[in-house]
Amino acid sequence: MSKILRLNSKQADYKLQLDALLSRETDTGADVQNLVGDILADVKKRGNAALCEYTAKFDGWDCTTENMVITRARMEQAWKDVSQEDRDALQLAVDRIRAYHERQVQKDWMYTDDAGLSLGQKVTALDSVGLYVPGGKAAYPSSVLMNAVPAFVAGVEKIVMVVPTPAGEMNDLVLAAAFVSGVELGFAVGGAQAIAALAYGTETIPAVDKIVGPGNKFVAAAKRQVFGTCGIDMIAGPSEIVVVADGGHPEWLAADFLSQAEHDEAAQSIFITTDAGLIDAVDEAIEKHLQVLPRAAIARASVEAHGALILVSDFDEAAEAVNIIAPEHLELALDDPDAMLPKIKHAGAIFLGHFVPEALGDYIAGPNHVLPTNRTARFSSPLGVYDFQKRTSIIRSTPEGVAAIGFAAAHLAHREGLQCHALTLELRLAHNNKG
């Protein structure tokens, strides 16, 4: 058997153990925050010079103003260089992601109320977005697709991609994904310095209105600190998955359990069932997979430090545990997942049934794979078109409309001690009365 933590809902300290499991350190400490703050300030002050110095220091290549630029032509060349199978898979993913996100587009609306006021909402796409593509332990072309496609569907005109290139090596699959997504311009920089460049602008990289895309703890800290100068999508932490099962193939369930663990040693995987025998079978299958997986060392470190196999009395307890965990990914590997679905309040994405592993959503299903982590699914949503559109309120009134509701507004203004606010209304009310 593995060294993965086992919990039982019948234990007296079950809730305390669950809380302890979920309280793993995923945020950045003061040392990281301070380092990132210094980098942000330096890039803001010195622009490209600082950006390239940090790139040389952290990524190990001689960055210059000229060679940091990734042109559309370079992306097109990568598209030609990857295999036909790569191109087919990327194109299918783009088509499905676009089809899903087109259904999220918000529209203008207007109505006239009983007082005669016309009230509404105007929806406008953001002017510019910076797309951060993570790199380092692995390359993520899927992150390009999941961020760029909804931005284009929303109507964003300028999308700027930044991607770290350790040792100066560019990943052709990432560049091919940028090409097929429609990205026009990219830069071979990453880390906190790239976030600074997107937030403040440099001589070469334009400042953007919003930064999206996941990254390591330095990127997360940088996004947190530049928020307000520009928008951000979310503070993404280590990946998570919860698998709830009532049977099925232990090998499948074990692979699903490990699917997020192979991302990062800080990732979290949790398996929940009412069947003690299934826990034993899944535990055994996990160990079998770990003997052969190429990223087994990372996955093992993750599940032994942060994973859990949880035995519950019934599936109401399972749903309760899920809502406490509020996982990024939730698989309901159940014969009747629809019976549990109404009980789930907090999850980033939910995968129903025995034949929908989380990986299907990561790449090709259509919904976005940029999801809230670290229990933020309690109040956050997946990335979508709505993250690239903003709403403006519209108010129109006739003299009759002001007459109908203006006295109440003036009264509230006086009660707040804002007499000029009240005066703006009272002048119009008096004019109406003279008429």
Where in the sequence numbering do the catalytic residues fall? 328-329
Q: What count of Cα atoms within 13 Å lies in the side-chain half-sphere of residue 159?
A: 27
Q: Give Cα separations from 21 to 28, 216, 271 (angstroms).
A: 18, 21, 13
Tokens of 365: 């299903």
Residue 333 in 3-state DSSP? Answer: strand
Three-state DSSP at 179 gives helix
Distance of CA 369 to the CA centre of its chain: 7
CA angle at 15 for the pair 378 and 253, rounded to the nearest 5°: 70
Q: Is the CB of residue 329 less than 8 Å from the CB of residue 241?
A: yes
Question: Contact at 8 Å (CB) between 286 and 257?
Answer: yes
Q: What distance in Å separates the CA atoms of residue 145 and residue 378, rounded to the nearest whole number?
A: 26
Residue type, 290: L
Secondary structure of residue 148 in the 3-state scheme:
helix
117 residue type, one letter: L
Q: Which two tokens stand for residue 26?
A: 């995923």
- CA dist 263 and 163 (Å) reads 18
DSSP string for residues in 62-95:
---TTTTEE-HHHHHHHHHHS-HHHHHHHHHHHH
Helix (H) or strand (E) holding 344: none
Tokens matching residue 345: 């309040």
